Amino acid sequence: MDKFKGTGVALVTPFKEDLSVDYTALEQLVNHVSGGGVDYLVVMGTTAESPTLTGAEKLEVLRFVKSKNHKNLPVVYGLGGNDTMALVSKFKKFQEDVDAFLVVCPFYNKPSQRGLQLHFEAIAAAAKKPVILYNVPKRTSVNMTAKTVVALAQHPNIIGIKEASGDTVVQAEEIARKMPDDFLLISGDDDLITPFIKCGGHGVISVIANALPGHTSDLVNAALAADYSKAKVMANDMEEILGLLFSEGNPTGVKELLRQMGIGNGGLRLPLVEASEGLKEKIANEYKVLDTKKGMI
């Protein structure tokens, strides 16, 4: 599935002061990342604050993004949960046109590896479009092992994984050695793009690409072309801002950087909160540095 190779961006959901969805800012964002050269759009990932949006809001955001997707980039929709049968029912009823689904590991109930495999096989059988697995144990409290991923990779409707385990590169290397040739291995960590691709990965679903789509896409493309020296320099250029963006949680930092770039107001829905004054100042200082570097902003 070449259309999911390269840079995907996990879109934030901008809010107005009353915390309703800010569709004007969302249109700005879609234009910004599309113009910056990302390869596909991810709607309702974790970065979208999806746990705090209603089902109706999620669908409205998806429809809006598609209506403003003038470059006709592929669209991946996040749809996950920890009640397998309820989720299967949602997939069977889902009528929106998307290119693939991003489905996170079940959270809180901590299933076994066999439970994970059966969960995803049930979803893949119900989904009308291809499924990309999402392994992020720091949020779900369960790690889907390489063995389980490789087993699921045999399913005809499971086409890849967004891998963000605590031991990401090591686990990615094991998956890469054993996965089918047409299976997608996608990084979920912006700070590991180059080593992830070097070990057999195909790209990233990125947070920082909301703000720095051009730089992120160029970094990914350099790594995919095996120009690791160039990719290393580019990764070093955004190392400082990456540390700041995640220092108070995601998407707090990237929403603040976007605010300083004139996209949205930086607001989040509880229990997440906007950046502290100290972080705002640090991001502002680093934003000035980035602004002087050609091609970064």
Amino acid at 236: N
The answer to whether 216 is a known ligand-binding residue is no
Establish how many alpha carbons lie within 13 A of residue 86's alpha carbon, considering only the half-sphere containing its beta carbon: 6
At 232, list the tokens.
């290393």
Quote the CA–CA distance of 174 and 159 in Å, as a whole number: 17
Three-class SS string for the chain? CHHHCEEEEECCCCECCCCCECHHHHHHHHHHHHHHCCCEEEECCHHHCHHHCCHHHHHHHHHHHHHCCCCCCCEEEECCCCCHHHHHHHHHHCCCCCCEEEEECCCCCCCCHHHHHHHHHHHHHHCCCCEEEEECHHHHCCCCCHHHHHHHCCCCCEEEEEECCCCHHHHHHHHHHHCCCCCEEEECCHHHHHHHHHCCCCEEEECHHHCCHHHHHHHHHHHHCCCHHHHHHHHHHCHHHHHHHCCCCCCHHHHHHHHHCCCCCCCCCCCCCCCCHHHHHHHHHHHHHHHHCCCCC
Instruction: Please report, to the nearest 10 degrees, the dihedral formed by the alpha carbons of residues 122, 125, 127, 128 taken in order.
Output: -170
The answer to whether 205 is a known ligand-binding residue is yes
Residues known to be catalytic? 134, 162
Which residues does the annotation place in the binding site? 47, 205
Which residues does the annotation place in the binding site for pyruvate? 47, 205
